[in-house]
Amino acid sequence: MPGPVYVLLAIWLVLATSPAAAQMPRIELTVGMYRIETEVAVSDAQRMQGLMHRRSLPANQGMLFVFPQAARHCMWMRNTHVPLSVAFLDDEGRILNVEDMQPESENNHCAVGAARFALEMNLGWFVTKGIKPGVRLGGIEKSPPPR
């Protein structure tokens, strides 16, 4: 039977190598007078994990998903506990559409056109700031490339 130190080490190794533990890059985006601090999901594993299992999302913080190519990407909310709004963005960071998403749902919410990025924020963030399709986000060019 392994000793308690080995059991703790094994648990730590599992947690340290889980997708949730992987540190995502961060960048700052701007839209109008608003600043958004974002985690950036660039790998398949990070995009699949997204904001799953989180219980809250601080104000003016979000997650930017960077896709390998522009397409009609879709998002869902499996294992996501926080209600979110997602803006789908083209190659230049211009908003194509914004969709509201309810927690724990497997309903698809899709881009209306070829999206290269998706930005998830707290539910209603875009509406309360008056940010609509056609608006361009600044700083998108600082996002790391997808892997």
Mean local confidence (pLDDT), 56-77:
97
Cβ partners under 8 Å of residue 23, min gap 6: none
pLDDT over 60 (residue 21): no
DSSP 86: E
Reply yes or no on whether the pLDDT at 14 is more than 70.
no
Structure tokens at 98: 């914004």
Burial label for 52, CB within 10 Å (0-12, 13-18, 19+), is: middle
The secondary structure of the chain in percent helix, strand, coil, rounded to multiples of 5, reads 20, 35, 45
- Residue 2 has a pLDDT of 52
Q: What are the residues facing 31 on neighbouring strands? A: 34
Kindly give the pairing relationship between strand 61-71 and strand 26-31.
unpaired
Q: Is the pLDDT of residue 12 over 60?
A: no
Structure tokens at 132: 């609509």
Closest CA to 86 of 143, 28, 127: 127
**Residue 23: its pLDDT value, please?**
85
Nearest-angstrom CA–CA distance, 101 and 106: 10
| Sign of the alpha-carbon torsion through 121, 126, 127, 133 | negative
Q: What is the pTM of this model?
A: 0.85
Q: Cα dist. 147→45, 96, 141 in Å? A: 10, 23, 16
The CATH number of the domain covering residues in 24-140:
2.60.120.1140
Please tell me the predicted confidence (pLDDT) of residue 4.
47
Residues of the chain with pLDDT > 90, as a percent, come to 84
Q: Please report the pLDDT score of residue 36 as a whole number.
A: 98
Q: If you average pLDDT over residues 41-64, what whole number do you get?
A: 96
Chain segment 88-134, per-residue pLDDT in tens: 999 999 999 999 999 999 999 999 999 999 999 999 999 999 999 99
Confidence tier at 79 by pLDDT (50, 70, 90)? very high
Confidence of residue 22 (pLDDT cuts 50, 70, 90): low
Domain boundaries, the chain: 24-140
Mean pLDDT of 28-55: 96
